[in-house]
Structure 1
Amino acid sequence: MNLVDALLAADADKITAKQTEDYEVKRLSKLLGVPFILHLQEIKFRRIKELQDMATKRKKGRAPEVDYMELAVSCLAEGITNEEFNDPRVLKRFNATTKEDLFTKILTSGEITKISEKIGDLSGMDKSEDDFEEVKN
């Protein structure tokens, strides 16, 4: 079977399904007395590109600069699927207007970084090459 035959025989829904994973923020689990589990999902390529563009600041005469913390928080808002963070009562309780605002208030900088890295891993952005094999002629 060649690659074309394999692709045509494949379950397209399985191949294109978003990768998911649960992640516990242990500090908040301890503080709240209940497991603080985040449901993470991958972000598709085009959306990651849009988030990167939104986090890039362009000033005349200067090279574009990416605000990496803004990008990380945007990735959390896109990659965390828990409905609790859309609840207006939760937003109001923490004086937040958006999920992004809420995340910056309840998560530490280190937690934001780790969670955005996990979402990046699900999205295939990890730096390991374990999933790729070089073919030499």
Structure 2
Amino acid sequence: MNKTIDLLLKNDVSKLKRPTKDVEITRLSELYGEPFVVTCQALTPSEFNELQESISINVEGNIELDNNIQVLTILKGTKDPDFKSKELMDHFSVPTPKDLVQKIFLSGEISSIYTTITDLSGFGKDSVKEIKNS
């Protein structure tokens, strides 16, 4: 049998968990006087596919990203805090989770959180390495 198949079959399926990572937003930590931590998690393939639906191809064949793709990724790839919390949205006087993310974070912070989520989801440069044939 194939070595890779053997490797998959001999290991516990429960070990295949979504990777998570905590990131601290230093500006908010300084503002609130204690660590402000966001727990990011990898996107599942179905979550990624939903995000792909936000991508369109224009007439010239160029890909156009919904300008909120980073925010949408954060909403799907953030474990804590829950930006869909009605209590949080009411507290910040915003109607939607997207508005909440944009009210709490600066553009660079949104970009950094987005990058963390995409790296966890396997899009980082170190996720896959090429093996030279011998």
TM-score by length of 2: 0.85
Q: Which structure's residues are more often helix, by fraction? A: 1
- Structure 1 residue 12: Cα displacement: 1.1
What is the alpha-carbon root mean square deviation over aligned residues?
Answer: 2.1
Aligned counterparts of 2:29 and 2:52: Cα–Cα separation in 1:
31
CA distance in 1, matches of 2:47, 2:20: 16
Q: What residue number does 1:66 align with?
A: 65
Partner of 1:52: 52
- Tell me the distance in 2 between the aligned counterparts of 1:125 and 1:58: 21
1:52-107: CA deviations, max 9, x gaps?
222x2455x4434112x411101100111114533322211212222221011110
Contact 1:28 1:36 in 2 (8 A): yes
Alpha-carbon distance change, 50 to 84 in structure 1, aligned in 2, over 3 angstroms: closer
Distance in 2, matches of 1:95 and 1:115, equals: 23
Is 1:90 paired with 2:91? no
* Percent of paired sites with the same residue: 32
Task: Give, as a single letter, the amino acid of the residue that structure 2 aligns with 1:6.
Answer: L
SS of residue matched to 2:39? strand
Provide the rounded CA distance (Å) in 2 between the counterparts of 1:84 and 1:66.
Answer: 24
- Give the residue type in structure 1 aligned to 2:131: E
List gaps (5 residues or longer) in structure 2. Answer: none
Alpha carbons 1:52, 1:71 under 8 Å: kept: no
User: Which residue matches 1:29?
Assistant: 29
Normalising by structure 1, report the TM-score: 0.83
Any gaps of 5 or more consecutive residues in structure 1? none
